[in-house]
Amino acid sequence: MVEKKKVSEKATKEKKVSTKATEKKKVDTKITEKEKISTKDIIKAVEDMSVKELAELVKMLEEKFGTVAAAPVATTGTKEEVKEEEEKIEFDVVLANVGEKKIQVIKEVRALTKLGLKEAKSLVDNAPEVVLKDVSKDDAENAKKKLEEVGATIEIK
């Protein structure tokens, strides 16, 4: 008899728990059905909040949706300027190191730049120096190839 009483009490408790859960779901759906909040109402509510309340709201939203609110990254310049930086079309050829064949490097620098002997020698002696400035990618690659053939170390920037 005692066992039957315990079993019936347990069943009653389970029914109460399931009834409460069902009632809670009904309440939740009633709120959403009755009070649909417009975007304007949300904006107005956010405008009226203090900074502390907004911070708490952000934390709750992050926890609820599993995301992180990050500030947008500031860029300098217009979209066109950013694209130009990404698609670089002009390069500088820099003589980083002369190598062992200094005379051949001077000859190649003269051929590439149309400099005189004295200017080309000065450029080679003062390495690292810019040999060609604002040239196309193909021209930069060709100059690099020619100077590396005679032993120089070249960087393209």
pLDDT digits 0-9 by tens, 129-140 = 888 888 888 888
Claim to verify: residue 85 and residue 45 sit in the same structural domain: no
| 70 within a domain of the structure (yes/no) | no
Claim to verify: residue 13 and residue 50 sit in the same structural domain: yes
Q: What is the DSSP string of 118-154?
A: HHHHHHHHT-SEEEEEEE-HHHHHHHHHHHHHTT-EE
Do 146 and 113 form a contact (C-beta atoms < 8 A)? no
Length of the chain as a residue count: 157
* Prior bond of 72 cis (ω within 30°): no
| 75 within a domain of the structure (yes/no) | no
3 state DSSP class of 36: coil
Claim to verify: residue 57 and residue 113 sit in the same structural domain: no
Q: What is the pTM of this model?
A: 0.44
Report the domain count for the chain: 2
Claim to verify: residue 37 and residue 90 sit in the same structural domain: no
Claim to verify: residue 144 and residue 87 sit in the same structural domain: yes
Do 152 and 103 form a contact (C-beta atoms < 8 A)? no
pLDDT band at 17 (very low <50, low <70, confident <90, very high): very low
Host H or E run for residue 27: helix 2-34
Q: Which residues constitute the domain of residue 120? A: 80-156
Do 143 and 131 form a contact (C-beta atoms < 8 A)? yes
Last residue of some domain: 35, 65, 95? 65
* Residue 153, both tokens: 């170390």
| 73 within a domain of the structure (yes/no) | no
Claim to verify: residue 104 and residue 50 sit in the same structural domain: no
Last residue of some domain: 65, 90, 105? 65
The model's pLDDT over 94-104, given as tens digits with 9 standing for 90+, comes to: 888 888 888 89
Average pLDDT, rounded, for the chain = 76
CB count within 10 Å of CB 57 equals 13
| 140 within a domain of the structure (yes/no) | yes
Claim to verify: residue 60 and residue 88 sit in the same structural domain: no
Claim to verify: residue 85 and residue 145 sit in the same structural domain: yes
